Amino acid sequence: MARRKLNNQQRSRIAKIQEQRREKASARAEASLENSNNSEQYEGRVVVRHGQNVIVRKKDGSDVHCLFRQNLGEVVCGDRVLWQATDNQQGVVVALHPRDTSLSRPDYSGRDKPIAANITQLIVVLAPEPEPSGYLLDQYLIAAERVGVQASICLNKADLMDEQQQSDFRQRFGHYEKIGYPLVQISAKTEQGLQPLLERLKDNINILVGQSGVGKSSLINALLPSIDIEEGKLSDSTGLGKHTTSAATLYPLASGGEIIDSPGVRSFRLGKIERRELEYGFPELRELIGTCKFNNCAHKDEPGCAVKAALENGDIHPERLASFMHMAEQIE
């Protein structure tokens, strides 16, 4: 279902409600600090945020429920923070360390909103059902290039296919491997091929993204068999547990590395992007920047176009170029 567009009045009403919530949460946070007898500050990492509440993982591995000062801006899963204990055995996040990386997407008003911080790898999950979208896959990969993290492609639901179908499915996306995006084919249901994926996740802070229905939740459960993925989710008003699939949550992997379960990143749109930045987002096009005969080459019918020549030579896949051209038209 297409996302319903909001008119200016609706946007204004939403913004007003959100501002009222921020002011209320800020007052609660400041009151907690004023009433606290502990002024010492501690290092921590945000493992989940829900509304104006966050869970911060302390250095000893235990978790503490915190509010956060509103002048910090958006505090998201993966953020490194300083927090101060309050007398109710909770805390308040008082400072945010600079992020190494930040994955974001446009909010209802079109502004980029961070959804996870300090990730090192983005894993795009595909499956034979629902029908994979090459265009959506390319958007995810451009996001990884913009953020400056590595990206891999996970082909899930191998149990639904025989050996020939698995081979055909992998071959369908083989051109991505040629341009530097590794492919891992697995079945989360039977745990077939799970070890190669664990090796790729090792020593990385990973985030899984993909269309709804590709089996991402099943994959998370296979990777984290001993963890209840609902544990630690917070209610906006009470800070108590709440069943939700919209909050990005950070989990440690027993085999090494960490993974962010982010069901909210099911549909994805790139934010504002310039054409040159878009070209840099395609590794096979990046190599050709500045080699066309004309500096303002649109890679359509211009003479001396290096991109068209690369397409004819098989160095650029037609579907990748089609994705680029469509995105370029959207920019224009």
Contact 156, 126 (CB under 8 A): yes
Instruction: Say yes or no: 57 and 147 in one domain.
Output: no
The answer to whether position 24 is within a domain reads no
pLDDT of 284 reads 96
Instruction: Say yes or no: 92 and 163 in one domain.
Output: no
pLDDT of 218 reads 85
pLDDT of 240 reads 35
User: Which of 61, 78, 96 represents a domain boundary (last residue)?
Assistant: 96
Query: Could you give the number of structural domains in the chain?
Result: 3
Give the Cα separation of 162 and 108 in Å (integer). 42
Instruction: Say yes or no: 182 and 245 in one domain.
Output: yes
pLDDT of 172 reads 92
Task: Name the percent of the chain lying above pLDDT 70.
Answer: 81
Instruction: Say yes or no: 79 and 122 in one domain.
Output: no
The answer to whether position 172 is within a domain reads yes
pLDDT of 75 reads 94
Banded pLDDT at 226 (limits 50, 70, 90):
confident
Burial degree of 254 (CB within 10 A; 0-12, 13-18, 19+):
exposed
pLDDT of 95 reads 93
pLDDT-wise least confident of 63-72, 123-132, 196-205, 230-239: 230-239
Instruction: Say yes or no: 147 and 292 in one domain.
Output: no
Give the Cα separation of 245 and 62 in Å (integer). 23
pLDDT-wise least confident of 116-125, 254-263, 266-275: 266-275
Query: Mean pLDDT throughout 218-224?
Result: 88
The answer to whether position 107 is within a domain reads yes
What element of type H or E holds 286?
helix 283-286
Res. 314: pLDDT tops 80: yes
pLDDT of 232 reads 37
pLDDT of 230 reads 45
At residue 88's C-alpha, the angle toward residues 85 and 90, to 5°, is 45
pLDDT of 237 reads 45
pLDDT of 210 reads 86
Instruction: Say yes or no: 125 and 210 in one domain.
Output: yes
The answer to whether position 270 is within a domain reads no
Round the average pLDDT of the chain to a whole number and report it.
84
More confidently predicted of 89 and 329: 329
Instruction: Say yes or no: 139 and 87 in one domain.
Output: no
Domain assignment of residue 225, given as a range: 102-261
The answer to whether position 190 is within a domain reads yes
Task: Say which CATH number the domain at 129 has.
Answer: 3.40.50.300
The answer to whether position 16 is within a domain reads no
Query: Mean pLDDT throughout 265-283?
Result: 83
Nearest CA among 270, 220, 222, 264 for reference residue 77: 264
Task: Say which CATH number the domain at 288 has.
Answer: 1.10.40.50
- Dihedral of the CA atoms 105, 111, 112, 113 (nearest 10)? -80
C-alpha dist (Å) from residue 153 to 52, 60, 136, 150, 180:
33, 34, 12, 11, 10
Side-chain-side CA neighbours of 278 within 13 Å: the count stands at 21
The answer to whether position 2 is within a domain reads no
Instruction: Say yes or no: 189 and 225 in one domain.
Output: yes
Instruction: Say yes or no: 256 and 283 in one domain.
Output: no
Contact 217, 223 (CB under 8 A): no
Instruction: Say yes or no: 58 and 134 in one domain.
Output: no
Instruction: Say yes or no: 77 and 217 in one domain.
Output: no
pLDDT of 21 reads 60
Burial degree of 1 (CB within 10 A; 0-12, 13-18, 19+):
exposed
Nearest CA among 321, 319, 315 for reference residue 173: 319
User: Which of 235, 261, 287 represents a domain boundary (last residue)?
Assistant: 261
Partners of residue 113 on adjacent β-strands: 105
Res. 109: pLDDT tops 60: yes
More confidently predicted of 241 and 257: 257
User: Which of 237, 261, 285 represents a domain boundary (last residue)?
Assistant: 261
Task: Return the beta strands (E) in 160-216 as ranges.
Answer: 183-185, 205-210
What element of type H or E holds 122?
strand 121-126
pLDDT-wise least confident of 46-50, 189-193, 218-222: 189-193
Give the Cα separation of 229 and 243 in Å (integer). 10
pTM to 2 decimals? Answer: 0.82
pLDDT of 45 reads 97
Instruction: Say yes or no: 282 and 177 in one domain.
Output: no
The answer to whether position 15 is within a domain reads no
Task: Say which CATH number the domain at 58 has.
Answer: 2.40.50.140
